Amino acid sequence: GGSSGIGAATALELARCGARVILATRSARRGEAGPWCPAWDETGNNEVLFMHLDLASLRSVRAFASTFLRQEPQLHLLINNAGVSAGGTTEDGFSLPFQVNHLGHFLLTQLLLERLRSCAPSRVVIVASSAHCAGRLRPESLGRPPSGLFSAFQDYCDSKLANVLHARELATREQGTQVTCYAVHPGFVNTSLFRHAPLWLKPLLLPLAWLLFLDASEGAQVVL
């Protein structure tokens, strides 16, 4: 999720610090030449690569992990940042927000976990949200879109609760391995996430976001 929003601002700062950065993003065009390109050039860091990853496809997640493990011997920091709030169903049969926000990241983390262990000390940072407080996970319908007028918002909240539970359980299981795990709430940040808001809500939400919410670089500080 490094092509826009919090992910792009985070990747940019890591590049400024001299890190080798792998931008895992669905869009090759945005990944290779994002809107922050002029600032990117100023870092002088040539160790920045784009690799295709579509979290809405578990097949794509497995392909990315296979390519990464073959090409990259080191992994010290995995930031699970990508997120959507739109409805819909993925090719794997799950709701789009739940798979992109949680299931795709969960599988990716599991596939890369042994590399994180071998490169320890290392860490996993999951960009969650305080919206997890409104989440409700039901095992019998996990990953299926909830019903109701605000189903898309509930789906988003459910995925964020899954993020937090993932971070807590992973942190517990990795005790003693020097792999640490964190779930962070970046604050209310004005990102492209709001493009998925219902049409009737946008006239209310977008002005509020521009006036009161943090910008992407401010939201990235929590992740960093």
Closest CA to 185 of 160, 213, 210: 160
How far apart CA 222 and CA 189 sit, in angstroms, is: 11
Structure tokens belonging to residue 49: 């690569």
Are the CB atoms for 138 and 157 separated by under 8 Å? no
Place of tokens 């909240």: 157
How far apart CA 84 and CA 202 sit, in angstroms, is: 16
Closest CA to 50 of 103, 8, 90: 8
Active site residues: 156
Place of tokens 């992973």: 170
Q: SS3 letters for 95-153?
A: EHHHHHHHHHHHHHHHHHHHHHHHCCCEEEEEECCHHHHHCCCCHHHCCCCCCCCCHHH
